[in-house]
Chain A
Amino acid sequence: MNSLRIARAAIRARPALLRAPVQRRGYAEAVSDKIKLSLSLPHQAVYKSQDVVQVNIPAESGEMGVLANHVPSIEQLKPGVVEIIEESGNKQFFLSGGFAVVQPNSVLSINAVEGFPLEDFSAEAVRSQIAEAQKVASGSGSEQEIAEAKIELEVLETLQAHLK
Chain B
Amino acid sequence: MTFAWKAAGLTYNRYLAVASRVVRRSLKEEKRLAAERRGVSEIRFAKWSNGKQGELKNLEQANAAAAVESAAQGGQ
Contacts and interface: CB of A to CB of B under 8 A. Distances in A.
Interface residues of B, number: 29
B31 A116 contact: yes
A60 B23 contact: no
Interface string B18-55: 11101111111101100100100000000000000000
Given A121-B28, A150-B5, A96 B16 contact: yes
Contacts, number: 91
Given A114-B35, A147-B4, A148-B18, A79 B10 contact: no
Contacts of A120: 27-28, 31
Contact of A129 (B16, B26, B31): B26
Interface string A94-116: 10111000000000000001101
15 contacts: A96-B16, A96-B19, A96-B23, A97-B19, A113-B17, A120-B31, A122-B27, A125-B25, A142-B71, A143-B8, A144-B8, A144-B9, A148-B18, A151-B22, A152-B18
